[in-house]
A and B are shown apart, each in its own frame.
Chain A
Amino acid sequence: MTEETTNQYNAMDDDEFRAMVHTFYVENYPQELRFSPHRMHWDEIGDWYLTLSKQGWLTPAWPAEYGGMGLDANKLLIFMDVGESYGVGRTPDMGITMVGPLLIQHGSQQQKDHYLPKILAGEYIWCQGYSEPGAGSDLASLQTSAVRDGDHYVVNGHKTWTTLAMDANMIFMLVRTNKEGKKQEGITFLLVPLDTPGITVRPIINLGMHDEFAEVFFDDVKVPVANVVGGENKGWTIAKALLGHERIFIGSPKFAILAMSRLKSMAKSVGLFDDPIFVERYTRLQLDIEDLFATYKRFVEVLKRGGNIGPEVSMLKIWNTETQQRVTELMMEAASEHGGIQGGIETEEGLVRAAGEFIGSRPSTIYGGSNEVQRNILAKAVLRLPG
């Protein structure tokens, strides 16, 4: 995307921009993939990734100089909102939302030149290797090791909860390069091609009966030293910066908006808006989302001003994920017996699977740092309560 196109988008009238994005979705997004109840695999949604890539709309938040749309906070929210309202599914987007922004900030020029175009072209699809069986909330205790051997590291260990690992051809991961001293200071950030010999991916079936995440095993895997981002033993700082990106992403209202639009479809079809008790509960949630929106905009403005967001971003993650869960809880309850079936309720906007939505919203308060950990962070780093 050129600077000129970016300026043109940002200068557009809001309604005009909204209409343009909506029209594109209507004309290009596959009807049968709207409001997918599960996180789609590459064989389902890969074509859409490539369509967005061709249109130049894959990376709305990246700056134009790196091939992004460079949207301002307001346009970014509209872009997201239109997509959610239309039920556009999430692509395997780790490269777009995490690796790209990270490399733009911390990567070497060579790394930027190599990886960013391949993310934009859909050649590199990424997954995240952070958690391990023994390192969840206490991520810094991770044990997967990388031992230096000339120009290479030899990686051994076991990552888990790796979302869409079976669709990815690249993994960005945290490895231990030093077992002495403070555990945070012996961690390195590594980019690894998944077709490297010695890597095994084993899918895990989640509560939604879907193979959305996986375990990844590393057995004497050779990785070039050039694949380190930010320097040996400097990975924790980078990982924290990336968690910041992840939290602002998880804190974006899109998942809650999506759940709310499903609830609305169901409520219309079942006639729930005639029930004043339902309307009060619905409105309460609608306002939780609107108010989250206002808060999200406030945070995004900081980024747009070129400022940094600190540990306070945790509040977005907490509010968004818990709001999303409250929405799916009301959905399940209001669906009565349909709240206990695998299928769903037929509505004008397609099938609403109340039980599936309820199940699907459960992990959001666990991943990306559990909400309990987020509260610990806020208590110590923002409220400065004693340890």
Chain B
Amino acid sequence: MEDISLQSRIDVLTEQQVLIQDSAVAFIAQDEELKKTRESRFVQPGYDQQTWQEMAELGWLGFLIPEQYGGIGLGFDDLHPVLIQLGKGLLPAPFVATAVVAASVLVNCDNEAIKKDRLPALVSGAWKPALAWQETQGQMSVEAEQLRIVDGKLSGKKAFVPDAGGADDFIVSAGGDKGTELYLVNKGATGLTIDYEQRIDGGFYARLSFDQVDVGELLAGTDRAEQVLESALDEGRVAASVELLGVMTRSLEITVDYLNQRVQFDKPIGSFQAIQHKTVDLFILSEISRSVVLQTIALLDGDASAHDRAVGASQVKARCGDAALQITKSAIQLHGGIGYTDEANIGLYLKKAMYLASWLGNATAHRARYAELTL
């Protein structure tokens, strides 16, 4: 399939980025037909453990983790070609949730013993944490309200924890007398109940119910917990946006390919101006998204303030969330009847966009956050 993005026309990748991109392209090409993606739909844990192990062997799980904890210590500029390919290949793996969001919390937390013990295991693929911070739908504040700490025990609920089925431990935010704290809680802890909900893309969200659960290991106290969380979530928003960029780029490629193949009225339907103009508008959206993605990863890799990172994260998530939905839903329309079948892969892109666009705040929520931070 032809690369129609402007990346090859106008952007410059470093030698290292090209190497990383090539290996990611090759990795995704193993399942071009999306067979594995389909097989893991609605089957716990929603992804293939062997694929996860292969990603560990490629070093991807340690990209953002400093060398002293067994990682490679690279930045988002080097990670982004991987994230784009994960989106293009609809890879069913909790990469962003685990190797970006949870990893970020751990790297920035204050528990040195846990960092030394667990981060190398995360990098090797042997251990997976899942972050349970959210309590209500549409929540943007990182303050823990429902999950309370009383006498060293956790009671309350967490919601929308992605890909918890394959996780070993939970990073949990909880509210005490003085504010929010972060703990590492074992998945098998007494009093912890997990309910799963199928996501539209075939993965799972979990709801966690805590009934007098032992707090486990303290990761960050009230002085830093919210700041560590906010930063991790913003990195997750950016990473999810890059993955969305991959989703929209690929669905556009598939669609353009289809417009060249599909013949009606004795012509390829891509020759009709109504179709061309609609497709051009989708292309523009994808490139606007790419520009913001490139700008935002440079922001994250630089020394921007937490405020500026938050503004950038909301800007990119608002754009990529909206653009991915617009592009994937239009892709269905441009495919006609076949686009509405489960058999055609294009629908899988729409569903991935629906999940990623709504996770960690949808476009409306991020525009509101952007307005709050900038007006």
Does B92 sit within 8 A of A, measured CB to CB?
no
Q: Quick one: which of B9, B10, B268, B315 has the most chain A CB within 10 A?
A: B10
Q: Is the interface of B mostly helix, strand, loop or mixed?
A: helix
Does B279 sit within 8 A of A, measured CB to CB?
yes
Could you name 25 residue pairs across A and B whose Cβ atoms are closer than 8 Å? A273-B375, A279-B371, A283-B368, A283-B375, A287-B367, A290-B315, A291-B319, A294-B288, A294-B292, A294-B295, A295-B288, A299-B10, A319-B288, A372-B277, A375-B276, A376-B273, A378-B283, A379-B273, A380-B276, A383-B256, A383-B280, A385-B270, A386-B260, A386-B270, A386-B271
Does B1 sit within 8 A of A, measured CB to CB?
no
Chain B 1-23 against A: per-residue CB contact (8 Å), 1 yes, 0 no? 01010100111100000000000
Across-interface contacts of B294 in A (CB, < 8 A): 294, 298
Q: In the complex, A273 Cα to B371 Cα: how many Å?
A: 10
Across-interface contacts of A302 in B (CB, < 8 A): 10
- How many A-B residue pairs have C-beta atoms within 8 angstroms? Tell me: 107
Report the interface size class on chain A.
35 or more
Does A284 sit within 8 A of B, measured CB to CB?
yes
Nearest CB of chain A from residue B305's CB, rounded to whole Å: 15
- Whether B284 pairs with A318 at a CB distance below 8 angstroms is yes
Report the interface size class on chain B.
35 or more
In A359-387, the 8 Å CB interface with B consists of: 372, 375-376, 378-380, 382-387
Does B208 sit within 8 A of A, measured CB to CB?
no
- Output the nearest chain B residue to A315 by Cβ-Cβ distance: B284
Does A112 sit within 8 A of B, measured CB to CB?
no
Across-interface contacts of B273 in A (CB, < 8 A): 376, 379
Across-interface contacts of B111 in A (CB, < 8 A): none
- Whether B319 pairs with A280 at a CB distance below 8 angstroms is no
Does B153 sit within 8 A of A, measured CB to CB?
no
Does A139 sit within 8 A of B, measured CB to CB?
no
In A292-317, the 8 Å CB interface with B consists of: 292, 294-295, 297-299, 302, 305, 307, 309-310, 312, 315
Known pairs A375-B281, A378-B280. 11 more at Cβ < 8 A?
A279-B371, A279-B375, A283-B370, A284-B367, A287-B315, A297-B291, A305-B12, A315-B287, A372-B277, A379-B277, A382-B4
Does B318 sit within 8 A of A, measured CB to CB?
yes
**A297-B295 CB under 8 A given contacts A287-B318, A287-B319:** yes
- Whether B370 pairs with A287 at a CB distance below 8 angstroms is yes
Does B259 sit within 8 A of A, measured CB to CB?
yes
- Whether A383 pairs with B4 at a CB distance below 8 angstroms is yes
- Chain B residues with a Cβ under 8 A of chain A: 2, 4, 6, 9-12, 256, 259-260, 267-268, 270-271, 273, 275-277, 279-281, 283-284, 287-289, 291-292, 294-295, 315, 318-319, 364, 367-368, 370-371, 374-375
Q: Quick one: which of A290, A297, A305, A383 has the most chain B CB within 10 A?
A: A383
Q: In the complex, A296 Cα to B185 Cα: how many Å?
A: 47
- Whether A295 pairs with B4 at a CB distance below 8 angstroms is no
- Chain A residues with a Cβ under 8 A of chain B: 273, 279-280, 282-284, 286-287, 290-292, 294-295, 297-299, 302, 305, 307, 309-310, 312, 315, 318-319, 372, 375-376, 378-380, 382-387
Across-interface contacts of A305 in B (CB, < 8 A): 12
- Whether A384 pairs with B271 at a CB distance below 8 angstroms is no
Q: Is the interface of A mostly helix, strand, loop or mixed?
A: helix
Q: In the complex, A273 Cα to B284 Cα: how many Å?
A: 30
- Whether B288 pairs with A291 at a CB distance below 8 angstroms is yes
Across-interface contacts of A283 in B (CB, < 8 A): 367-368, 370-371, 375
**A385-B371 CB under 8 A given contacts A291-B315, A291-B319, A379-B276:** no
**A298-B10 CB under 8 A given contacts A287-B318, A379-B280:** yes
- Whether B284 pairs with A291 at a CB distance below 8 angstroms is no
Q: In the complex, A299 Cα to B11 Cα: how many Å?
A: 9
Q: Which one of A286, A295, A309, A380 lies within 8 Å of B287 (CB-CB)?
A: A295
> Which 8 pairs from chain A and chain B are nearest by CB?
A379-B276, A295-B291, A294-B291, A385-B270, A294-B295, A283-B371, A386-B271, A378-B280
Q: In the complex, A305 Cα to B277 Cα: how many Å?
A: 31
